[in-house]
A and B are shown apart, each in its own frame.
Chain A
């Protein structure tokens, strides 16, 4: 096991603690020993069933070994045993259950690309509106639970009040509040109901000041800043080498957003900007910046939603698709989309039958979590909760 000594900590008294030893005020050096402790799988701050095996030297983390798989539900094997391509969509919902729309969209885009289907303009707009609403809802969970990790309970409740309003919009559209099965191959399951546009506009107008309020309440809160700024710094080159994506990559200062850099759907028609960590507080790539990128992304999502609602074209919400979906033999695609957590890739291979031959889901949370040991080595044990929380993992997607 690799032992990395990164920092020493000076306590308020005359003790100096470095990994391996404690020096007292009289100059006496005391030996310390490494200890292995388990965090999880049932631990409130691991955001699901994640077990972290920690090697600690006093309060300093020497190494961290994540153990995953507690929520493994054989998504990829299930896909091969479906009777048709559409049946996979509800399973894709259940991977990242905080952001179901973007998951099903990723899978549907892959199948549409295999078949060469062009969906109507209205469908693209509806999908963008839904995905961006979902992004706000997902970031609200991330921000709210992150507040809890830092010991602030109130912002969580405010976040959930606002998230409920988004879920109401989903409910009037397709009847479901968490797992939608809304985006179908070649279209969406239901057209927007008549009251949707007004209600969504109302939400946008209501939510903009709420972001400011959340920033005042949490982001710039002095205790929160002290807990998160300069903690768990992920440098740019490490982030890229680990293929970290989404807000976590952008917080490290990499200007990379698939909605702009590998464009899909109609995102190019709207005025918006990918948000990167600027380091107003702390260092670029630390926990605070990861949190801040999410806060700013919510504003950008609102911009996209407002523009899409204003220019929503009329028309049908179903493209003409074959009755039996049967891509040609040996056609394979890798399609990646930007979910609230980062790059979600679906690698789908067809064997000419009515069900996929192989589906590989590249979950952003899975990859983002793999960098955790790299950034927690040398950190304090109490900061681990905040570092793990800032990654915003959903174990359903890590384990699939």
Chain B
């Protein structure tokens, strides 16, 4: 199924949660509302004609213009089609609904996005840092990140 057809189905089901789309992109994407990700995820996973049962990748992005993004690459191992979903959130209030209840693999991906960007995933069962130490300052993949001078007395920038 193409992204165009998927967009029509999603718009028919979730009128106001589908914020935008870019079908002319190399890999077309659909933008959804940050507080509706879970119900859209459940619909995509459980609808028999869609069966998006496999969340390949969940990435955080800092667009550098005051906006953060979360990008979901979802596909179906049964019907072999895929979809790219995007969520845009303001940097000063970065809240997204977690999809870890839909696809359990999102658990670690969301922890990584939290670790690197400080994006807060509401309803996540265990949102803590995953790659960095728990007491690390700041979120390294933000575009304006400044590394801390010392970490437990160890000089950090070298």
Contact = CB atoms under 8 A, between A and B. Distances in A.
Interface string B109-145: 1000000100000000000011111000000110000
A399 interface: yes
B84 interface: yes
A376 interface: no
B59 interface: yes
A286 interface: no
A367 B108 contact: yes
Contacts of B53: 240-241
Interface string A261-285: 1100000000000000000000000
A241 B60 CA distance: 20
B143 to A, nearest CB: 8
B56 to A, nearest CB: 6
Nearest to B112: A366
Nearest to B80: A261
A20 interface: no
Question: Chain A interface mostly helix, strand, loop or mixed?
Answer: mixed
Contacts of B109: 367
Interface string A338-379: 000001010101000000001010100011001000100000
Contact of B131 (A72, A114, A358): A72
B84 A370 contact: no
Given A243-B56, A254-B77, A370-B105, A332 B27 contact: yes
Contact of A113 (B26, B60, B104): B26
A44 interface: no
Contacts of B107: 370
Given A77-B141, A334-B27, A366-B108, A358 B61 contact: yes
Interface string A242-256: 111000000000101
B28 to A, nearest CB: 11
Most chain-B CB neighbours within 10 Å: which of A113, A347, A400? A347
A77 B55 contact: no
Contacts of A374: 104
Given A69-B131, A347-B73, A370 B59 contact: no
Contacts of B154: none
Contacts of B43: none
A374 B107 CA distance: 13
A243 B25 contact: no
Contacts of B116: 76
B136 to A, nearest CB: 10
Interface size class of A (residues with CB under 8 A): 35 or more
A240 B132 contact: no
Given A72-B131, A76-B116, A333-B26, A360 B104 contact: no
A68 interface: yes
A242 B132 contact: no
A224 B108 CA distance: 32
Interface in B24-44: 25-27
Interface residues of B, number: 31
A239 to B, nearest CB: 10
B130 A347 contact: no
A373 to B, nearest CB: 10
Given A68-B130, A68-B131, A334-B56, A256 B108 contact: no
A360 to B, nearest CB: 4
B105 A334 contact: no
B54 A240 contact: yes
A332 B108 contact: no
B76 to A, nearest CB: 10
A345 B56 contact: yes
Contacts of A256: 77
A195 B104 CA distance: 49
Contacts of A347: 57, 59, 71, 73
Interface string B61-86: 11000000001010001001000100
A336 interface: yes
Nearest to B57: A362
Most chain-B CB neighbours within 10 Å: which of A114, A254, A336, A370? A370
Which 6 residue pairs of A and B lie closest in terms of their CB atoms, listed nearest first? A243-B105, A69-B131, A360-B59, A362-B57, A370-B108, A72-B131
26 contacts: A72-B131, A72-B132, A74-B140, A76-B116, A113-B26, A114-B26, A240-B53, A241-B104, A242-B104, A243-B55, A332-B27, A333-B26, A334-B27, A334-B73, A336-B56, A345-B73, A347-B59, A347-B71, A347-B73, A349-B61, A360-B60, A362-B59, A367-B105, A367-B108, A370-B105, A399-B131
Interface of A: 68-69, 72, 74, 76-77, 113-114, 238, 240-244, 254, 256, 261-262, 331-334, 336, 343, 345, 347, 349, 358, 360, 362, 366-367, 370, 374, 399-400
Given A243-B56, A332-B25, 18 more contacts: A69-B132, A72-B131, A113-B26, A114-B26, A238-B104, A262-B80, A333-B26, A334-B56, A334-B57, A334-B73, A336-B56, A347-B71, A358-B59, A360-B57, A367-B108, A370-B108, A374-B104, A400-B131
